[in-house]
Amino acid sequence: MARRKNTKAKSSQKTDNASSINQKKFEQDNTSKLPKKKNSQMPDQQAEEEKSNEVVWKKNPTKYSDKIFRNNYMKLFIKKGSTDYHGECIYCNRDILVDNLYDHIKSGKHRNKTDKKEHDDLDGLIKDINDYGNLKKTKKELKKEKELKGNQNDIYNYLEFLAFGMAERFSFSQISKIGLFIKNIIKDNKAGFFKNQSFDEEEISLIARNCFQKSLIEDINKKLESRPFSLIIDNSTISKENYCVLQARFLESINNETVVTNKVLKIHKLDEKSDAKTMHKIIKDRLLSNPEIERNFIGIVHDNASSLIGKYNGLVTKLQEDKSNLFSLKDPCHCFNLILKNSLSELPKRIMKFVTKIHLHFKWPQRKAILSNIQKEIDQKELTLKPYIKTKVIKSGH
């Protein structure tokens, strides 16, 4: 109550008593709550007057132009003001910022200065101003709503893309690469083919074989013609089918750095008739028919299988017959595997039982976590058990 009394007292004072902006605002907000007096200095008028006197410089103030007129009647009393951003109310003889003009027109003071005959026109103008304000607001809201909806749709579609990649068991790195690739082609306006192409599996396979394969082979051949290389050969069983894989390994300079490069040369499906002769023919046809490649072929790495090293029918033996200085290296990974296998067989059975038991115990992640916690507590280096399996897992190493 005390505050209101104070306000009341203040509002009857001359407004040029410099009061703080907050106080002014408080007064403006509260004047409407005060009982209206019938004298000419009504508090709401005073508030309006203060409001239009305030120099409210917006970030981008509106310039005076034809666009500010809401109807022809407004043109009758609003003229260009002192600056590009001011209009003048002829009736009130006041220079007003364009951004504050509508408030001024709606004010009681302006109404008082307007001839009563024009009050209907003034009401019409105020209605037009209000309608324009509402329309502007609606447009803004609609735009915002549209933007928000667009953003939400984008986020939804993005998540759908990620979920698709994960469901297809692509790695995060693959999803990222595919995403960036598509992003770039859309940015470069090259995404039109998505609409027109069928992405048919058969067609993709044909393109790979008839189009990309040729150029890839040419590319590898050029490299093999120009530098020494060795060959890795190994057989593998995938879905009960046997395959023989040939891989070349050579040194290559990429971005001024010399790196070891591996390139698969051939994956050959083996049948029951496949033997060293078959593989020998594959290598001869694929590589040694080109004399320059033949010259650069310096070594072969293999798992020491009897089909490869057999004295009479072994593949390596046959290759060495063609090329006497060919270096034959037993794959160290296979050798290590053999060493471990033989070493383990020397251990007493109870020790192997213990090793197996320990590994079985720590198969569960919870138990691994308990072990690491204990190590952390006693300030020890965190060590965990490597999975122990009986078969070799490392392949094609030199």
In the complex, least distance from residue 12 CB atom to Zn ion, rounded to whole angstroms: 24
In the complex, least distance from residue 89 CB atom to Zn ion, rounded to whole angstroms: 3
* Number of neighbouring beta carbons within 10 Å of residue 12: 11
Nearer to Zn ion among residue 27 and residue 88 (C-beta): 88
In the complex, least distance from residue 77 CB atom to Zn ion, rounded to whole angstroms: 7
Q: From the list 89, 125, 283, 301, which residue makes contact with Zn ion (rule: CB under 5 A)?
A: 89
Nearer to Zn ion among residue 64 and residue 91 (C-beta): 91
Q: In whole angstroms, how far apart are CA 260 and each of 102, 233, 297, 303?
A: 76, 17, 16, 21
In the complex, least distance from residue 126 CB atom to Zn ion, rounded to whole angstroms: 12
Q: From the list 47, 78, 92, 282, which residue makes contact with Zn ion (rule: CB under 5 A)?
A: 92
Nearer to Zn ion among residue 88 and residue 303 (C-beta): 88
What is the rounded CA–CA span in Å between residue 13 and residue 4? Answer: 14
Give the interface segment with Zn ion, choosing from 90-98, 124-132, 194-202, 358-366 (CB under 5 A). Answer: 90-98
The identity of residue 390, as a single letter, is: K
Least Cα distance to 302 among 262, 280, 261, 335 occurs for 335
What is the rounded CA–CA span in Å between residue 95 and residue 98? Answer: 9
User: For the residues of 65-92, what is the DSSP string, one character each?
Assistant: SGGG-SSHHHHHHEEE-SSTTEEEETTT
What is the rounded CA–CA span in Å between residue 325 and residue 310? Answer: 18
Q: Helices (DSSP H) in the chain: which residue ranges? A: 2-11, 21-31, 43-53, 72-77, 101-106, 108-113, 119-167, 172-187, 193-196, 201-207, 213-226, 276-283, 291-296, 306-309, 315-322, 332-346, 349-361, 365-377
Residue 102 binding Zn ion, by CB under 5 A: no
Give the interface segment with Zn ion, choosing from 105-113, 161-169, 209-217, 295-303 (CB under 5 A). Answer: 105-113
In the complex, least distance from residue 139 CB atom to Zn ion, rounded to whole angstroms: 28
Lookup: tokens for 145: 């709503």
Residue 231 binding Zn ion, by CB under 5 A: no
Residues present in the chain in total: 398
In the complex, least distance from residue 44 CB atom to Zn ion, rounded to whole angstroms: 16
Contact pattern for Zn ion over residues 314 through 333, marking x by CB under 5 A: --------------------
Nearer to Zn ion among residue 81 and residue 314 (C-beta): 81
Give CB contacts under 8 A, 24+ apart, made by 358-363.
358/385, 359/385, 359/387, 359/388
Give the interface segment with Zn ion, choosing from 31-39, 86-94, 127-135, 313-321 (CB under 5 A). Answer: 86-94
Residue 91 binding Zn ion, by CB under 5 A: yes
The footprint of Zn ion on this chain (CB under 5 A) covers a number of residues equal to 4
Give the interface segment with Zn ion, choosing from 85-93, 195-203, 312-320, 386-394 (CB under 5 A). Answer: 85-93
In the complex, least distance from residue 40 CB atom to Zn ion, rounded to whole angstroms: 16
Q: What are phi and psi of 70, to 5 degrees?
A: -85, -25
In the complex, least distance from residue 34 CB atom to Zn ion, rounded to whole angstroms: 24
What is the rounded CA–CA span in Å between residue 369 and residue 184? Answer: 43
In the complex, least distance from residue 87 CB atom to Zn ion, rounded to whole angstroms: 10
Nearer to Zn ion among residue 92 and residue 293 (C-beta): 92
Least Cα distance to 105 among 54, 44, 48, 58 occurs for 48
In the complex, least distance from residue 93 CB atom to Zn ion, rounded to whole angstroms: 8
Least Cα distance to 368 among 393, 387, 389 occurs for 387
Nearer to Zn ion among residue 48 and residue 331 (C-beta): 48
What is the rounded CA–CA span in Å between residue 365 and residue 199? Answer: 42
Q: From the list 31, 70, 102, 110, which residue makes contact with Zn ion (rule: CB under 5 A)?
A: 110
Nearer to Zn ion among residue 91 and residue 229 (C-beta): 91
What is the rounded CA–CA span in Å between residue 295 and residue 227? Answer: 9
Residues lying near Zn ion in the complex (CB under 5 A) = 89, 91-92, 110
